[in-house]
């Protein structure tokens, strides 16, 4: 083969490879473009709706379990009692949206909260198509800023005096209370109601408020003592008697050791 023919063959192979690569790239981008159009069409051809979070905020005071309610500021059902809530924004997760709502109405961070369930009945909100995800939260009322209640026209209401709420909010409260009772019997979440210390009478009052039933004092204290997860403090609460009642504190390390030993929290 002469040198010119060899060069022509090299150039031919080179351009064939370039053409082959160009064709592969063209097919890739063409398919990718088609895929993007299909995805865009898939989403645009389906309905869109709002996602909201509603928070059942529990607090404990005067031997009663309370829920924080507010007057709904907008139509529909403006002025009626409502849970605290708001829409989830585009750059938020559900948890972040719930934390935003909780901080807005309580000015507290690190609040214990847990998702209850989603509510998606077609006509649940007469203002539009809204799917709401409910969370319950446990607030320490000792740290609650009462000026916030005036700002948002809010009020702490006893659980047994719950009024008619907007939309399906009463159902949310019922579901949250059922979940709270279940989790309280299985996990030490109840201590989130207190600001580090509490008395045993107050702890029993809280359990009775949650379950809406009296609890035998002797059996209750026996169960608490058997788990050995509380620290007895050297200070007393003397607001209700001269003798006073010792304060206690929940010990997380003792609880974790309790679990590692294969034992189970139960009250």
User: Which residues of the chain register pLDDT less than 70?
Assistant: 1-40, 42-43
Asked if 66 and 162 count as a contact pair (C-beta separation under 8 A), the reply is no
pLDDT computed for residue 229 by the predictor: 96
Nearest to 165 by CA among 137, 129, 131, 125: 125
State residue 39's pLDDT score. 59
Is there a cis peptide before residue 154, judged by omega within 30 degrees of 0? no
Distance CA 220, CA 200 (A): 9
CA neighbours closer than 13 Å in the CB half-sphere of residue 221:
7
User: What local confidence, expressed as pLDDT, does residue 142 receive?
Assistant: 79
Least Cα distance to 106 among 51, 166, 66, 49 occurs for 66
Model pLDDT, residue 151: 82
The confidence score (pLDDT) of residue 37 equals 61
Predicted pLDDT of residue 163 = 96
- Predicted local confidence at residue 243, as pLDDT: 79
Which of 59, 75, 41 minimizes the C-alpha distance to 154?
59
Among candidate residues 92, 90, 118, the one with its CA nearest the CA of residue 103: 92
| pLDDT the model gives residue 40 | 63
């Amino acid at each position: 083969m002469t040198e010119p023919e060899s060069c022509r063959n090299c150039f031919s192979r080179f351009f064939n490879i370039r053409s082959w690569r160009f064709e592969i790239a063209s097919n890739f981008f063409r398919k990718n473009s088609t895929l993007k159009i299909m995805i865009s069409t898939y989403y645009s051809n389906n309905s869109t709706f709002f996602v909201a979070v509603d928070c059942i905020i529990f607090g404990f005071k005067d031997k009663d379990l309370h829920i924080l309610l507010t007057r709904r500021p907008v139509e529909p059902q403006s002025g009626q009692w409502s849970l605290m809530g708001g829409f989830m924004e585009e750059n938020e997760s559900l948890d972040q949206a719930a934390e935003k709502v909780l901080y807005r109405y309580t000015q507290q961070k690190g609040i214990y909260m847990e998702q209850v369930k989603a509510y998606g009945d077609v006509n649940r909100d007469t203002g539009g198509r809204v799917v709401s995800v409910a969370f319950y939260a446990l607030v320490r009322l000792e740290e609650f800023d009462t000026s916030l209640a005036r700002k948002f026209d809010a009020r702490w209401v006893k659980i047994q005096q719950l009024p008619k709420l907007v939309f399906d909010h009463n159902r949310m409260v019922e579901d949250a209370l059922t979940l709270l009772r279940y989790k309280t019997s299985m996990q030490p979440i109840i201590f989130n109601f207190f600001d580090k210390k509490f008395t045993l009478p107050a702890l029993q009052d809280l359990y009775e408020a949650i379950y809406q039933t009296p609890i035998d004092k002797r059996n209750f204290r026996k169960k608490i003592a058997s788990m050995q997860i509380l620290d007895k403090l050297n200070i007393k609460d003397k607001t209700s008697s001269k003798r006073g009642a010792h304060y206690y504190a929940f010990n997380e390390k003792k609880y974790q050791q309790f679990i590692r030993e294969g034992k189970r929290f139960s009250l």
